[in-house]
Structure 1
Amino acid sequence: MARYIFSYLLGGSIFFVAIPAIIFFIATLCPYTFMPEGKVAVFFGAFSSAVGLLFMIWSNLELIKKGKGGAVVIGNIKISKETIKLVTTGPYALCRNPMHMGAFLFYLGLCCAVNSFFTLVVPFGFLLFAYFFAVFLDEPRLKRDFPEEFEQWIQDVPQRFWPKPKKG
């Protein structure tokens, strides 16, 4: 239990303190806007961040409840317990990396709210990091540990980061 608490405190510190602090620091150095100033930027930013936060929380809850593990596993570094079941329900039925999508939307929303063009390097840099993380670390582990389920999941949910509307 202490391991879970530590892993979520560490992850929360990075995702919700350190990276937003970097966004706000860049915004103070480079205040060039990219959206109409005022309520539009703040509203769009709040909406994007809220949707992103929803997906991050929902994804983590699915991993804990259905996967019986956590999200703080980076290759051989296992701060939280690895999932023992492949999670393909909830947000994982919409796209294969909803937590990464949520983080991207959360950071994009912060960038919109502070309305600084140069801050956009953070969410798009994160998306690039998430892509390589998914392709080179996460997916090989899932394919190794859950071969049949993983192949079926790729067939059912081919999109890595963005939900795609289902055909009628």
Structure 2
Amino acid sequence: MNRDFIGYLLGLIIFIIAIPYVMFLASGSPNPAVLSLIQMSILIIMAIIGIGLSIWSIVYMKNVGGGNPFDAFNHEVAPRTNSLMTDGPYGICRNPMLLGVFIYHVGVLIALMSIGAVIVFIIEVLIMNVQVRKEEQRLKKDFGKDYEDYVKKSNRFLPKIN
């Protein structure tokens, strides 16, 4: 099986299916029929925006960066990028894929309205922050001053407001 495919499949399973499901379970498994039209609409809009941003970032990374996003705690799951990307979705922030995932997951939080789901989200953000910091060390080693300059001009997860 192609290593790129494995990376994409793992990302889909973990971020699009598993984490929202764990959030759902942590919320006490509410009946989806009780979600208000507003909650459901917000979830759908945020899912489209968030997943769309993540897919744009993945496609951009593959085409421009020549690699795959799935690099888990210094273990290469699929081929790493060989070019530093600072424009396209990477002009928004340094981790637009995760920004997209977080947007989607905030939509899930709004739909679930549960402290349990919030706790799962906070744990996810903390774990991903550790992962990203390790990834940033590798990027600094791979791309040197160019990466350091990019870090000065961009935020880790959120768009930089000038």
TM range (shorter): 0.7 to 0.9
Identical counterparts, % of pairs: 31
Listed as ranges, the gaps of 5+ residues in structure 2 are none
Q: CA deviation at 1:8?
A: 1.2
Q: Closer, same or farther in 2 for the Cα pair 1:76/1:127, shift >3 Å?
A: closer
CA contact (8 A) 1:41 1:113 kept: yes
Alignment TM-score, normalising by the size of structure 1: 0.84
Residue number in structure 2 paired with 1:146: 143
Residue number in structure 1 paired with 2:9: 9
Structure 2 counterpart of 1:10, which letter? L
1:41 to 39, 52, 55: 39
Say what the alpha-carbon RMSD is for the aligned residues.
Answer: 1.8
Residue number in structure 2 paired with 1:90: 88
Give matches, 1:69-108, under 5 Å: 69-108=67-106
**Partners in 2 of 1:117 and 1:97 — Cα distance?**
26
**Partners in 2 of 1:83 and 1:3 — Cα distance?**
13
Q: CA deviation at 1:140?
A: 0.4
**How many residues align structurally?**
158
**Partners in 2 of 1:133 and 1:97 — Cα distance?**
11
**Partners in 1 of 2:37 and 2:161 — Cα distance?**
30
Alignment TM-score, normalising by the size of structure 2: 0.87
Q: CA deviation at 1:76?
A: 3.5
CA contact (8 A) 2:73 2:131 kept: no
**Partners in 2 of 1:124 and 1:105 — Cα distance?**
13
